[in-house]
Chains A and B, each alone.
Chain A
Amino acid sequence: MTNTIVQQPKQVSLLQRKKAVLICLCCVFFFVALYIAGAMMGDTGLRTDFLHRNLPPSLDYPFGTDWLGRDLLTRTVKGLCISIQIGMLAAMCSAVLAGLLGVAAATFGGKVDTVITGMIDVVMSTPHLVMLILISFAMGGGVQGVVVAVALTHWTRLARILRAEVMQLKNADYLQLSTRLGKSKLWIARNHILPHLLPQFVIGLILLFPHAILHSAGLSFLGFGLTPHNPSIGILLSESMQQLSTGHWWLAVIPGVCLICMVKVFDILGNTLRYLSDPQTSQQ
């Protein structure tokens, strides 16, 4: 604070626990519904039907059809499901990597810490997309290419957060006191440190999903990721580009908007959970 005027960000709306829980439930419901819808939809919509090509959105085809007459709604929902799967897989790999490296850096300190923080800096300072493309290309593309590429480029932020958290905890008065009450290191790790890290980890993981999904879509869009055999949302968008000049706007806009919506929902879920998991903000 630079002067005696106390400045405090005013919260626009009063976020309350009830509302927060409701938001979380809605988000989760959204994903479950999406997933079930994806599984329930048959393949009929994916069949080519040259009688109904390039139809704009209508009651029969809410999202329209593409140049092969496939129903865009079915394609979008299935595409989103594939994107979620790949995004989750990539985000989990990334989070596990972050957890291991972050905690190791803070616990061992010294050279281990220097090496790991160095790695974090290197990864963070190289442009994301270039790294993603290089790694995915080197892995030969496909699902494994995308997952490895996203996992290797996204762990840094969470690793940093976890490292800082452990470092701070290590010096906390109540941890030192615990040692002097005769508690073993293992006991302290399990009872003091883990409960602090777990929520951070879970929330970090959820906030990684949207990144992972967006980037796997981006990779596929650019042609370095999934192949058309896995029609994820990125592939849909990539294909639609060729049709854009012919005025078939819905092919790009509708899946794109859906992708953004889904990413936003993940983001909201993560932030609301963070708010709930902090004993102080959760009182408000």
Chain B
Amino acid sequence: MLAIEDLHISFHRYNKGLDRTKLTPVHNLNLEIGVGEIMAIVGESGGGKSLLAHAVLDILPANAETGGKICFCGQELDRKKINKLRGRKISLVPQSVSYLNPLLTVGRQVFRAAVVAGLSKKEAKIARDSAFDMVSLEEASMKLYPFQLSGGMAQRVLVAMATVGGAPLIIADEPTTGLDPELLAGFLELLRVTIDNGRAAMLITHDLNAARKVADKIAVFAGGTIVEIINNRENLTSDKLSHPYSRALWDSLPENGFNLSEIKHTYSARENGNQQGCLFRGACCCDREQCEKSIPPLMPVKHGLVRCWNA
């Protein structure tokens, strides 16, 4: 449904006075999301995961430059097309209720989202009712204002709003941050139900645990690109991870050891920025000549794809 090829996002930053440098927080990024799939993008907070979502929705800041191709349902997207698709075919689940209009009832807002997505008033009403039904909210809750919602209800309203217009692709940017475990489980279940109706989702999160509970594929984002894509059909275990960063991420989860063994290297690698060759050189067991020469492409391994010459 969504295919991203060789995406680059760069920014110009001023050091001092008029001296500018170019930063490229996202580079060489390839990603494909199929129908009925939840693709989780997991990685460093602040590493540029959200930029990926912003690029797909064309809401990057004005000083950003993008390169590469984004294709949606087979056609390549440009700014004009994204403007048409945004909200109709591609919709966003934001982080919290603060993205809702505080002065309108949630029923009204979901209705309006449907109208904006191109439905007639009659259709929008039906769509609204079925959206509320799908996220299992009672009809009475349509009359509530955003501040009256509990955390769990708020998540449901946000999902209802993203799905009401029938958008096949849903992008959720850190929707689970700050939810307690019960709410989190509820949200993930809801997301699963939504996607099983023939949609696809990109779930951006820093929480590997949440991702592995719900996603079909987990893309690990590190050092500005996707370093590994893991098929997550069955239970994820550490031996299915091939990239040193993914393994480090796994080991550092509180339930898996809270361990920092391999990370020091990966960090020093990242901070060196625009060097030649693999960004994680020296972080893994063996350092080959190839690692120094070129950034490895995503190569198929048993449980998915990985950017590592040693896998």
> How far is B112's CA from A6's CA once the two chains are assembled, in angstroms?
14
A residues adjacent to B (C-beta < 8 A):
1-6, 8, 10-11, 14-18, 21, 282-284
How many A-B pairs have beta carbons closer than 8 Å: the answer is 59
Q: Is the CB of B109 within 8 A of A6?
A: no
Q: Is the CB of A283 within 8 A of B93?
A: no
Q: Which of B1-23 contact A (CB under 8 A)?
A: 11-14, 18, 20
Some 29 contacts from A to B, beta carbons below 8 A apart, are A1-B100, A2-B100, A2-B101, A3-B161, A4-B92, A4-B93, A4-B99, A4-B162, A5-B86, A5-B87, A5-B91, A5-B113, A5-B116, A6-B59, A6-B92, A8-B59, A11-B62, A14-B62, A14-B63, A15-B62, A16-B12, A17-B14, A282-B14, A283-B11, A283-B12, A283-B13, A283-B14, A283-B63, A284-B61
Find chain B residues with CB under 8 A from A17 CB: 14, 18, 20
Q: Is the CB of A2 within 8 A of B87?
A: no
In angstroms, how far is the closest chain B Cβ from the Cβ of A164? 20
B94 touches A (CB below 8 Å)? yes
B interface SS class = mixed
| 4 A-B pairs closest in CB distance | A5-B87, A3-B113, A284-B63, A2-B101
CB 8 Å contact bits of B89-111 with A (1 = contact, 0 = none) = 00111100001110010000100
> How far is B12's CA from A18's CA once the two chains are assembled, in angstroms?
12
B57 touches A (CB below 8 Å)? yes
Contact-size category for B? 20 to 34
B residues adjacent to A (C-beta < 8 A):
11-14, 18, 20, 57, 59, 61-63, 86-87, 91-94, 99-101, 104, 109, 112-113, 116-117, 158, 161-162
> CB-nearest residue of chain A relative to B91?
A4
> How far is B161's CA from A2's CA once the two chains are assembled, in angstroms?
10
In angstroms, how far is the closest chain A Cβ from the Cβ of B305? 30
Q: Given the known inter-chain contacts A14-B62, A18-B18, A21-B18, please indicate yes or no for A3 contacting B86, CB distance below 8 A.
A: no
Q: Is the CB of B59 within 8 A of A3?
A: no
Find chain B residues with CB under 8 A from A4 CB: 87, 91-94, 99, 113, 158, 161-162
Find chain A residues with CB under 8 A from B13 CB: 283
In angstroms, how far is the closest chain A Cβ from the Cβ of B28? 24
Find chain B residues with CB under 8 A from A6 CB: 57, 59, 86, 92
Find chain A residues with CB under 8 A from B161 CB: 3-4
Q: Is the CB of A3 within 8 A of B57?
A: no
In angstroms, how far is the closest chain B Cβ from the Cβ of A3? 4
> How far is B101's CA from A2's CA once the two chains are assembled, in angstroms?
5
